[in-house]
Amino acid sequence: MALERWRDNLCWIQKILADGGYTGKAFASSVQELIGAEVEIAKRNEFHRFAVLPKRWVVERSFSWLEKNRRLWKNCERKLSTSLQMVALAFLGVLLRRL
């Protein structure tokens, strides 16, 4: 799991907002054990009608901001660390534009 590798860098995180695909006690307990964070699942509407779900829009909005960066459309990087830095640079650009 990626959390094991980055455990020291993620110790300040208190809560993780995840999609419905991460439901289950196994994921939540492993996150709690590794970094001590609480897992909160943003669930969809049962009737599948459009509704703005609390906190889920934050994740969707962040993904839409990242999609505007051409470098992230296709992963052509050889190393994972380079891809992670491109995501960090994309978010840095978003933050700088909002100042």
Average of pLDDT values for 25-45? 84
* Structural domain of 36: 1-41
What is the share, in percent, of the chain residues with pLDDT greater than 90?
1
Asked if residue 83 and residue 58 are part of one domain, the reply reads yes
Kindly state whether residues 95 and 53 are assigned to the same domain: yes
Integer CA distances (angstroms), 2 to 5, 15, 30, 64, 86, in order: 5, 16, 11, 24, 18
Mean pLDDT of 15-27: 83
Instruction: Judge if 96 and 56 occupy the same domain.
Output: yes
- Report field, pTM of the whole predicted structure over 0.85: no
Of the pLDDT bands very low, low, confident and very high (cuts 50, 70, 90), residue 52 is low
Same domain as 36, residue 55: no
How far apart CA 4 and CA 78 sit, in angstroms, is 22
Structural domain count, the chain: 2
Distance between CA atoms of residues 60 and 25, nearest Å: 24
My answer on whether 26 and 55 are in the same domain is: no
Which candidate, 16, 61, 55, places its Cα nearest to that of 35? 16
Say if residue 29 is in the same domain as residue 71: no
In this structure, the answer to whether residues 29 and 64 fall within a common structural domain is no
Which range of 30-34, 58-62, 63-67, 79-83 scores highest in mean pLDDT? It is 30-34
Q: How confident is the model at residue 44, as a pLDDT?
A: 66
pLDDT band at 48 (very low <50, low <70, confident <90, very high): low
Residue 85 and residue 54 share a domain: yes
